[in-house]
Amino acid sequence: MTKQHGNDFSASLENAANDIERLLEQLLSVKPVDGEIDRPQRIIDSMRYGALAGGKRLRPFLVIESAALFGVPRSQALMAGAALECIHCYSLVHDDLPAMDNDDLRRGRPTTHKKFDDATAILAGDALLTIAFDILSREETHPDPAIRIALVQQLARASGLGGMVGGQLLDLAAEGRFGTSPIQDERSIVHMQSMKTGALLHFACIAGGILGNASKADRDALSRYGLAIGVAFQIADDLLDVESDAATLGKAAGKDAAAGKATLVGILGIPTARERLARCVADAEAALAGFGDRGAILRETARFIAARNK
């Protein structure tokens, strides 16, 4: 099941990453919107630093491939994917701050606050968060305002207090940060991770259904797929943290254990975690059954997420 990923898949992933990089490059350029207000160069520089750091661009890739199921023009999926990537990147910039995870290294280079300073990193994160909704509001994302506002609503909910941000707070609480008892039970860890990393991955998968005005059944299928790969992603991430080294990972390894943070892998043990991971991949593939051959790339994406080594 975890066979070598085909050339088609690798090429699709790389193409998407290149297209997203190019679009973000353009969206975060110095040219003022409407030509009316000067933008301070430092905020542009720090936003670009935080968002143009490369990476797999997995979330936009999921938007593109889920949108492709319904024949959505690629340019629209790229816009929604770029907005989502701005949210993902802002969360990394803020998460790395000294007051949060205090990380100096991200994708093999200094984090945004190390490269600039803490105040600039806070503002760069705020600006990336904000521009995500600006991007979704534009006609290039979809000609129908009802579709655009649906994307705004779903992205806000996936990334806000009931999604990513809430999950980040639970994650800090799990370390005992606020005088809280560290969480150690499986249910609480799964819940925290479903918010912290699962919610954005889930949004990436349902975004294609929103853009394509898909049927309820198709949206539900994408939602089930998104939930399954969210859990798979996190288990794979935890396994990487345990088994990898900083050189491969491009960031500090073994950090969770060092922080005394409970992970699913720590609780279940590596073999059981691997079984759980395989089951998530199977669930993800099963969710796509109704799409037949059209779902091939998304099925391979689920296997890729489980097998990735950085």
Interacting residues toward a copy of itself by CB under 8 A:
32-33, 36-40, 42-44, 47, 90, 94, 97, 99-100, 117-120, 122-123, 125-127, 129-131, 133-134, 136-138, 145-146, 148-150, 152-153, 155-157, 159-163, 165-166, 168-170, 172-173, 177-178, 191, 194-195
Instruction: Tell me the closest approach of the beta carbon of residue 158 to a copy of itself, in angstroms.
Output: 9
Give φ, ψ of 280 to 5 degrees: -60, -45
Element (H, E) at 182: none
Q: Are 88 and 54 in contact (CB under 8 A)?
A: no
Tell me whether residue 32 or residue 108 sits nearer to a copy of itself (CB atom). 32
Tell me whether residue 175 or residue 243 sits nearer to a copy of itself (CB atom). 175
Instruction: Tell me the closest approach of the beta carbon of residue 55 to a copy of itself, in angstroms.
Output: 21
Tell me whether residue 128 or residue 298 sits nearer to a copy of itself (CB atom). 128
Give the tokens for residue 195: 């918010």
Instruction: Tell me the closest approach of the beta carbon of residue 307 to a copy of itself, in angstroms.
Output: 29
Half-sphere exposure in the Cβ direction for 180 (13 Å, CA): 14
d(C-alpha 90, C-alpha 159), whole Å = 11
Tell me whether residue 166 or residue 250 sits nearer to a copy of itself (CB atom). 166
Instruction: Tell me the closest approach of the beta carbon of residue 242 to a copy of itself, in angstroms.
Output: 25
Instruction: Tell me the closest approach of the beta carbon of residue 167 to a copy of itself, in angstroms.
Output: 8
Residue 269 neighbours by CB distance under 10 Å: 11
Closest by Cα among 88, 91, 87, 93 to 135: 87
The secondary structure of residue 110, as a DSSP letter, is: E
Instruction: Tell me the closest approach of the beta carbon of residue 272 to a copy of itself, in angstroms.
Output: 26
Residues 6+ apart with CB under 8 A from 171: 192, 196, 261
Tell me whether residue 30 or residue 289 sits nearer to a copy of itself (CB atom). 30
Tell me whether residue 37 or residue 247 sits nearer to a copy of itself (CB atom). 37
Closest by Cα among 168, 149, 150, 172 to 160: 168
